[in-house]
Amino acid sequence: MSPRRTSQDEKASEAQEPANFEDAFSRLEETVRKLETGPLSLDDSTRLFEEGMGLAKRCNELLSATELRVTRLQSAFAEQMRFVPDDSDADPDDDFDD
C-alpha cells in the first residue's frame, strides 16, 4: 500500500515544469476545465489561475523556441540554396548523352 501523498508533495509535483508542449498544453486544458466546471473556493480558484498562467507562459516559451528553430532551419536552407546552380539558363537542346 503506497503512502498517502501530502499536500506539499502534490504542490511540488504540480510545480514541476512540463518538459514538452503537449504535456504543458494538456495540463493547461485540465486547469481551465477545473476552473470552468467546479464550484471552487477563492483560494482554489486563485491557485488554479496562477497555475494556468504559468502553464500558458510555458506553452508560449516552448512555441517561441520552436519557432526560432524553424526560422533558423529555413535560413540555413535558403543560404544553401544560394549556392545551387540555377538550371533555368541551360539550353534545352543540349544533349548530355552524346
- Beta carbons within 8 Å of 15's beta carbon, 6+ residues apart: none
pLDDT at residue 10 tops 90: no
User: Which pLDDT belongs to residue 72?
Assistant: 96
pTM score of the predicted model: 0.65
Collect all residues with Cβ–Cβ distance below 8 Å to 21 and sequence separation of at least 6.
59, 62, 63, 66
pLDDT digits (tens, 9 = 90+) for 40-61: 999 999 999 999 999 999 999 9
What residue type is assigned to position 28 of the chain? L
Distance CA 2, CA 87 (A): 69
- Output the pLDDT for position 5: 46
Q: Coil, helix or strand for 92?
A: coil
- Identify the band that residue 2 occupies on the pLDDT scale cut at 50, 70 and 90: very low
- The answer, yes or no, to whether residue 14 has pLDDT greater than 80, is no
In the chain the domains, ranked by start, together with CATH numbers, are: 18-83 (1.10.287)
Give the integer Cα–Cα distance in Å for 15 and 54. Answer: 9
Per-residue model confidence as pLDDT tens digits over 19-29? 899 999 999 99
What three-state secondary structure class fits 95? coil
Backbone phi, then psi, for 49, in 5-degree steps?
A: -60, -45
Residue 1 pLDDT > 50: no
